[in-house]
Amino acid sequence: MQKDLRRGLTLDEIAASVNLSRSYFCHLFKAETGGTPAKYLKWLRMQKAKELLETTVLSVKQIMAMVGVKDESHFVRDFEMSCGLTPARYRANHTGGSVKKSGAG
């Protein structure tokens, strides 16, 4: 999952890559991480988005594409739930910049 966040791997593909059935893989994954593979992938995407917001001048839309999220409203909502701030406010707080009033994120 970490190698390419843009790629939407299926549970069957992930389970097959470690020679497990889908259900047993999900059972082991939840036992090990406390969550589902989908929640873990979302967490990975939000961590990468935070890093990119802190270290680049890429737009929110560019960052969304890099982390494999297509819907901006979902991305902003998920980011805010994860970090407590919108992407734009997060960037401003972590780079000393100001928040643009126009446009999302």
Question: Virtual CA dihedral for 25, 79, 75, 68, nearest 10 degrees?
Answer: -50
This prediction has a pTM of 0.81
Query: Cα separation of 29 and 81, whole Å?
Result: 23
What does the pLDDT look like over 42-92, one tens digit per residue?
999 999 999 999 999 999 999 999 999 999 999 999 999 999 999 999 999
CATH top-level class of 11-95: mainly alpha
What does the pLDDT look like over 3-54, one tens digit per residue?
778 877 788 988 998 999 999 999 999 999 999 998 999 999 999 999 999 9
The structural domains of the chain, with segments of one domain joined by +, span 11-95
